[in-house]
Structure formats: structure tokens, C-alpha cells
Amino acid sequence: MRYISTRGHLSGMPTSSGPTFSEILLGGLAPDGGLYLPESYPQVSSSELEQWRQLSYADLAWAVLSRFVDDIPPADLRALVTRTYTAEVYGNGRRKETAGEITPLLWLERPDPARAEGGLAILELSNGPTLAFKDMAMQLLGHLFEYVLARQGAEINILGATSGDTGSSAEYAMRGKQGVRVFMLSPHDRMSAFQRAQMYSLHDANIHNIAVRGTFDDAQDIVKAVSNDHAFKAKYKIGAVNSINWARVAAQVVYYFKGYFAATAAAPRGSNHQVAFAVPSGNFGNICAGHIARMMGLPIGRLVLATNENDVLDEFFRTGVYRPRSTAETCATSSPSMDISKASNFERFVFDLVGRDASVVRKLWAEVDAGRSFDLSGTPFLARLPQFGFISGSSTHADRLATIRQTFAKYGLMIDTHTADGLKVGSELRTPDMPMVVLETALPAKFEQTIVEALGRQPQRPAGLQGIENLPQRVQVMDVSVDAVKRFIEQHVR
């Protein structure tokens, strides 16, 4: 496996043949400011898909990730995924009948071939410690970081940005890990009270929370600016856990395979039956993993991208125009983890869309980095878009409330606000020829205020998270400033 950057320049890497998986894990952003991807996607044959169908989640994770990991012995990688994907770690499931399953599939409407109905389902991804799908990859990253750092006798200072769920998932995965410190930036007063409490109530010595007076995009820009200061990055051993980190995206590929197998369990063997996935999207990392699974050969018929009022990605897939919004133009919504107007992982998809021509990506992102838009309408690149299976739609606060109410009334299921965005758009874009699987984003307890607004009742919480908002909180609030964040890191790295 050889890795490349979306912007084409990897000078200064320690190995002439390209970086290893472990180097990418610790480095995060590529030296040229681009994002890492495999030089080519490993292919999975139909016979291999059938062999993988009955695997446990941990065994499936090993089968998928071993295609991407080039420098960790197979036995060690297997031990890491086996340690990660256990019923104890992912024990916050909502249904007793699926206890022990890592990512159970819940059918809202089962497929009915006689009536040409493809079915509608939710893939439950929020059974981890922080009740969000980010745990699916982040728990593994915690073990990977600790393993690689111990092998190298090294330390790392992780700098991340969160719109709500990445922060708590990262902090719960990294707390107490040897050789790891976390500096997590979040948008001040733009997350739910539960999300803030999950992060700020942690008092572990290796966890540091910074709330910036701006949006997630401002926080993400700071992370990129620090990562692009190569002298500072080297001196303070700066790494990343946001989905700019390739290992995060690779780990998320696994649940697309697992969801596909669950949705086609009753399909005739060897039928190559297609499945559509609807994905609530903010930073494009979640759906980027679906794109990669599809490129590997998983029969995904459609990737349905759902945005909230911050509809930059929906606008691109409808028009070919990528128009990032300013801080002032970015709405604060009731699905706050999607309040993102500059989607980092979108660069990975565009790299594939333009035929993996890094010179084109550099030119396009020179516009983005300068605060401008780019327009692919009328270009040969946009003409290639249908072959990638993407389709999109958006959702509003009123849509979320209506979807939460309808889902509870019709199916007896309480869903969170982000999953509601995905279900709303996915339901609108269903086709009778394939099941529509909506990826769950979080459990409703994380967004209690909107659930109460929609249903007039509070969502249930796991026992260990009762009253979390009342715990003492520790956070440093500061203006949007790269220099201020650097100074904070300098003061807290011994």
C-alpha cells in the first residue's frame, strides 16, 4: 500500500517510497496541505464479499483495514481491532434484542419485492461511550496511537476541532493513553449542553478543551494553520484526530460493509444486490468512507448526502458550484454537528472526481483557501459525477421536528436531530429497486432540547450519563487566533 497526497507533493517525508500507515496516523495532514489517500483503492471481489458476510464486526474490521495498513503486523492489528470492537465498549444500544451487536440494523419498513418496495432501515452506529457514530473509528484510533507511540518510544500532541461529537469521542478514546495529549477546539456556545458537558467535564491531565469565539470552520482553520506550520508541528509533535486523519476514514469504511451485509441478508446469494445509504453530512468524512467502500467494490447504488441549513455540499451536487460560507453566513442549527461550511474531506472526493490530478486540486483549493468558490459546471469533471453514485438534499429545523414526530408516531422510534436530517432526505430519495439505509449519527439524549420541542418528552439516557451537565467543567475560552492556540499548547507541553 502506497499513500499519496491530494495535492501531489510529499517532499520531506522520511521514506522515499511514500509514508507508511503509521506515519500518516501520527502526521494527520500531508506536508503540502493536502489529505492522504491510497495510490489506488484495494479491490474486494464478489467471492470475498460472500466470505466476509458472516464475519463478526472485529473480524470484518481486520479484513478491511488489513488492506490499508502496511506496517503493523497482522496479528497485532487483529489484536487491536478485537480489543476495540466489543459488546462492553459498544454497550449503550437502545434495544435489548440487539445487545452485543456492534452496529445493529433496524428495519423501519422491510423490503417487499412483490410490491417493488426496497425497504427503509437505520444502521445504529451510536452505541459507543459518547453515544455518537464517531466512536466507531475513534475508539480504534486511541488504541492505534498508543500502540504506534509505544513502539517508537514517542509522544504526540493531538490538535483537533469539533462541531460537537468528534471532541468527546476523541477525548474518551484518548484519556489516560500513554504518550498522548489532546487539545480540542470547539465553537463557543454552538454545541448542545450535553455535548459541552461530555467534553468539558473531563479533568484528565492529558485532555485540554479550548472554546473559540467563532464557528467550527474557524476552529478547523486554526488546526490546519498550525499543522501547516511545519517547524511548530515538528517541535511540538502535532497530530490530528479529525477526519483529515486517514485512519479515521479507513475505520469508518468498515460499517458500510457491515450495513450492506445486514441489509442484503435475505437477498439471493451472488445477486450483487445494491443498497443506498443516506448520510447526514457536515465535514464529508462519514460519506467519504462510503465513497471509498464503493470504490473498493461494495455494491452501493446510491450515496445520499443530507445537509442541514448549511447546504454547501448539497449546492455542489446540485449545481457543480462549491461555495464555502463565511463565519457570518454559517447558521447555528438544531443539528449543530453539521454546522459546517468548509468540508475538509470533500477534497478527497474531488481528487477522485478530477481523475486524481493533483494539479487541478491545488488550483481549486487555492481558491477555497483564499475564501473563494469554484465552479465545475460545464467542465468534463462534472460530467463524471453520476458514475460516483452521489445524490443530495437538505433539511431545515421544521423538517427535523416533523421527521422526529413522524418517526416516533409511525415506528415508535426516537431519533436525534442529525439522523432526522438523513431520514428526511433519504425517504424523499428512496427508489423501489434497493433498500435505503440511513446512518444513525447520535442517540437523541445528546440533543434533549430539540427532542422535547418535537415530542414534549425527554429522551432516555444511559445510567452513567445522568446529570452530566451538572458536573464541574474545565475549558479555556479564547478568540479565533492561531497564535493564541499555539501559546496555549506551548504552555501545556512539558
Contact of 199 with 167, CB cutoff 8 Å? yes
Q: Which bin fits 119, alpha (ψ -120 to 50), beta or left (φ > 0)?
A: left
Helix H, strand E, coil C: the string for the chain is CCEEECCCCCCCCCCCCCCCHHHHHHHCCCCCCCCEEECCCCCCCHHHHHHHCCCCHHHHHHHHHCCCCCCCCHHHHHHHHHHHCCCCCCCCCCCHHHCCCCCCEEEEECCEHHHCECCEEEECCCCCCCCECCHHHHHHHHHHHHHHHHHHCCCEEEEEECCCHHHHHHHHHHCCCCCEEEEEEEECCCCCHHHHHHHHCCCCCCEEEEEECCCHHHHHHHHHHHHCCHHHHHHCCEECCCCCCHHHHHHHHHHHHHHHHHHCCCCCCCCCCCEEEEEECCCCHHHHHHHHHHHHCCCEEEEEEEECCCCHHHHHHHHCEECCCCCCCCCCCCCHHHCCCCCCCHHHHHHHHCCCCHHHHHHHHHHHHCCCCEECCCCHHHHCHHHHCEEEEECCHHHHHHHHHHHHHHHCCCCCHHHHHHHHHHHHCCCCCCCEEEECCECHHHHHHHHHHHHCCCCCCCHHHCCHHHCCCCCEEECCCHHHHHHHHHHHCC
Q: Which residues contact 437 (CB under 8 A, 6 or more apart)?
A: 105, 121, 122, 123, 259, 260, 263, 275, 276, 277, 278
| Cα(315)–Cα(343) distance, integer angstroms | 13
Count of CB atoms situated within 10 Å of the CB of 396: 17
| Cα(401)–Cα(405) distance, integer angstroms | 6
| Cα(369)–Cα(383) distance, integer angstroms | 25
List residues with catalytic annotation.
Answer: 134
